[in-house]
Amino acid sequence: MKWEQKAPQYGDIVRTKVSFYYHYGIYAGRDTIIQFGAPRNDGVPREQIAVCVTDEKAFLSEGGAAECAVLDRREKKERRSPEETVRVALSRVGETGYDFLHNNCEHFVNSCVFGKSVSSFADGERRKTREKLKRKSGKTE
């Protein structure tokens, strides 16, 4: 998936840079974004982080610009329609269960768009942790 700074279209995946990671949402038209939690969830108990609908200003509260996903040919074939994407995202408003590595905002958008709960960020962090643990224990492959 590639990313481009452009005006989002209905059903697009959008993201904004927050510190060392990106925060993701689904553009639902009229300056509305459906997101899992806020760009920063500092100090918010995990059980209170929920899928919510916000405006673009709140989504971009860290001052970054929004980027839109540019899907390749395969991704376009695999994705739900924009209408179905937004319907699924809206049906999840109020859902909780946030977990930084196992159920985050990137998992949320990918499950709404592709029906698969995956996160390239979380996968990378788990891989780094496993590699550190291997080095510490002296194990190599």
Q: How many domains does the chain have?
A: 1
Beta bridge partners of 26: 13, 34
At 131, give phi and psi (nearest 5°).
-65, -40
**CA-CA distance, 4 to 53, in Å (whole number)?**
23
CATH of the domain at 25: 3.90.1720.10
36: closest CA among 111, 139, 137, 138?
Answer: 111
Backbone angles phi, psi at 105, to 5 degrees: -65, -30
For residue 116, what are its two tokens? 């698969």
pLDDT by residue, tens only, the chain of 141 residues: 999 999 999 999 999 998 888 999 999 999 999 999 988 877 888 888 999 999 999 999 877 788 999 999 999 999 999 999 999 999 999 999 998 888 999 999 999 999 999 887 766 665 666 676 777 777 655
Q: Which domain holds residue 123?
A: 2-137
